[in-house]
């Protein structure tokens, strides 16, 4: 039987009169990386917020690690959230803390580790795996955008979650730095058999790291398939999304 980390079953969500998710179903398999793409406002971040139960679904079931999280108590929810690493949009580092303190944060406050030596070891090994050795004493202000993302990645992975959520991991980075982040995510996922869901507008990034791509439009998943199927697809939904992203890029570029 296929093992799933995450399963949405006919999930709907509205904010006031606005229907934001319409009866969506999908699953993420163990070890699989999925990219969730779609135009602005189609409901991608709402999916991420539902996975963490930062908001409640109106209808449907959400199974994380085999448990329907829609009915978990606050205590059980905290335990299950500890198994999920999150890289927020923009990195969301604590600017007044060193790199070490940023990465150690989940160890101190989620895992309650008191052994400073062990914590140093875990942080330093994680910083090495995101190719930022010996940066413990730097402040976030000393870092480039790409380095900040890598610190955020180290912080998300330091307590060894088996599921990683990434919200726009390459936004605001130049293409070379963005590809570096993609390589790291793909590499870490392979090495640690990590499942991941990345929400992104960056098609190159999605195809670079994802086993499967889900395309959303107006609260529905309108296309699902492997990265290879995406590249070969002439589905009108895929084509229209790609044309939309190109026209946004053209409008954003210098005349």
Residues that bind ligand ATP (CB under 6 A): 15, 20, 38, 40-46
Comparing CA positions, the residue from 134, 142, 143, 213 lying closest to residue 173 is 143
Comparing CA positions, the residue from 251, 252, 169 lying closest to residue 210 is 169
Question: Which residue, 46 or 195, has its beta carbon nearer to ligand ATP?
Answer: 46
**Judging by DSSP bridges, how do beta strands 195-199 and 33-37 pair with one another?**
parallel
Question: What residues does 164 pair with on adjacent strands?
Answer: 85, 196
Question: Which residue, 45 or 227, has its beta carbon nearer to ligand ATP?
Answer: 45
In whole angstroms, the minimum distance from the beta carbon of 3 to ligand ATP comes to: 28
In whole angstroms, the minimum distance from the beta carbon of 44 to ligand ATP comes to: 4
At a CB cut-off of 8 Å and minimum separation 6, what does 234 contact?
none
In whole angstroms, the minimum distance from the beta carbon of 86 to ligand ATP comes to: 15
Question: Which residue, 129 or 167, has its beta carbon nearer to ligand ATP?
Answer: 167
Check if the beta carbon of residue 113 is closer than 8 Å to that of residue 119.
Answer: yes
CB atoms within 10 A of CB 175: 11
Question: What residues does 216 pair with on adjacent strands?
Answer: 221
CA–CA dist 218, 173 (Å, integer): 27
In whole angstroms, the minimum distance from the beta carbon of 171 to ligand ATP comes to: 10
Question: Which residue, 47 or 123, has its beta carbon nearer to ligand ATP?
Answer: 47
In whole angstroms, the minimum distance from the beta carbon of 124 to ligand ATP comes to: 34
**Judging by DSSP bridges, how do beta strands 67-68 and 59-64 pair with one another?**
antiparallel
In whole angstroms, the minimum distance from the beta carbon of 197 to ligand ATP comes to: 13
Question: Which residue, 38 or 60, has its beta carbon nearer to ligand ATP?
Answer: 38
Question: Which residue, 227 or 245, has its beta carbon nearer to ligand ATP?
Answer: 245
In whole angstroms, the minimum distance from the beta carbon of 130 to ligand ATP comes to: 25
Question: What residues does 165 pair with on adjacent strands?
Answer: 86, 197
Check if the beta carbon of residue 199 is closer than 8 Å to that of residue 167.
Answer: yes
Question: Which residue, 18 or 71, has its beta carbon nearer to ligand ATP?
Answer: 18
Check if the beta carbon of residue 169 is closer than 8 Å to that of residue 199.
Answer: no
């Amino acid at each position: 039987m296929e093992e799933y980390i995450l399963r949405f079953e006919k999930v709907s969500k509205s904010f006031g009169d606005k229907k934001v998710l319409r009866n969506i179903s999908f699953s993420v398999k163990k070890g699989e990386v999925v990219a969730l793409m779609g135009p602005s406002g189609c409901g991608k971040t709402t999916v991420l917020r539902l996975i963490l139960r930062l908001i409640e679904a109106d209808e449907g079931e959400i199974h994380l690690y085999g448990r329907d999280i829609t009915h978990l108590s606050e205590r059980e929810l905290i335990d299950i959230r500890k198994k999920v690493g999150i890289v927020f949009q923009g990195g969301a580092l604590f600017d007044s803390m060193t790199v070490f303190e940023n990465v150690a944060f989940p160890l101190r406050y989620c895992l309650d580790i008191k052994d400073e030596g062990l914590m140093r070891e875990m942080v330093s090994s994680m910083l090495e795996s995101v190719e930022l050795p010996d940066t413990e004493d730097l402040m976030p202000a000393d870092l480039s955008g790409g380095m900040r993302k890598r610190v955020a990645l180290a912080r998300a992975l330091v307590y060894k979650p088996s599921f990683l959520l990434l919200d726009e991991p390459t936004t605001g980075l130049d293409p070379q730095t963005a590809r570096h982040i993609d390589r790291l995510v793909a590499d870490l996922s392979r090495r640690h058999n990590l499942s991941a869901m990345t929400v992104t507008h960056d098609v190159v990034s999605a195809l670079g790291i994802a086993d499967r791509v889900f395309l959303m439009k107006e609260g529905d998943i309108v296309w699902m398939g492997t990265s290879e199927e995406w590249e070969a697809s002439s589905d009108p939904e895929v084509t229209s999304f790609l044309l939309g992203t190109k026209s946004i890029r053209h409008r954003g570029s210098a005349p």
